Structure 1
Amino acid sequence: MSNADLLPSLLFKINQNQLALEAAIMELTLWVEQRGSAEVAGNVRGALDTISKNEEFINLTLAILKVQD
C-alpha cells in the first residue's frame, strides 16, 4: 500500500479524533459553565464553533479522497 493510499484513511482517523475531542471539550465546558465560569465557557464555545464550521468541508474532502481510491 502506497503512502497516497494511506492518506484518506489517516485523515479520516484524525478527523474522528478531532470530533471525539470536540465532544469531550463540550462536556467540560458544560461542567465549567454550571460552576459559574460563563466567560471561560463562552471562550471555549467560540473555539468549538470554529471546529464545527470546518467539519463540513473536512467531511466533504474526505469523501472525495475516499472515492478517488
Structure 2
Amino acid sequence: MPHSDLLPSLLYKINENQLALEAAILELSNWVEARGSADVADNVRGALDTIDKNEEVIKLTLAVLMTPE
C-alpha cells in the first residue's frame, strides 16, 4: 500500500481523537462550572467552538480523500 493511501486513514483517526478530546474537555468544563468557576468553563467552551466550526470542513475533506478515484 503506498504511503499516500495511508494519509486519509491517519487523518480520520487524528480527527476521531480530536473529537474524543473535545468531549472529555467539555465534561471537565461542566465539572468546573458546577463548582463555581463559570468564567473558566465559558473560556474552555469558547476554545472548543473552534473544533465545532471546523468539523464540517474536516468531514467533507476526509470523505473526498477516502473516496476511491
What is the TM-score when the length of structure 1 is the normalising length?
0.96
Per-residue deviation, 1:3: 1.0
Q: Match of 2:14, SS?
A: helix
List, as ranges, runs of 4+ consecutive aligned residues in structure 1 with deviation greater than 2 Å.
Answer: none
Q: Which runs of 5+ in 1 are unaligned?
A: none
Q: Equivalent residues in 2 for 1:1-69 (5 A)? A: 1-68=1-68
What is the number of residues matched between the two proteins? 69
Q: Which runs of 5+ in 2 are unaligned?
A: none
What is the TM-score when the length of structure 2 is the normalising length?
0.96
Q: Alignment identity in percent?
A: 72
Structure scoring higher RCO (CA < 8 A, sep ≥ 6) equals: 1
Distance in structure 2 (CA, Å) of the matches to 1:68 and 1:60: 14
Indicate the RMSD between aligned Cα atoms, in angstroms: 0.9
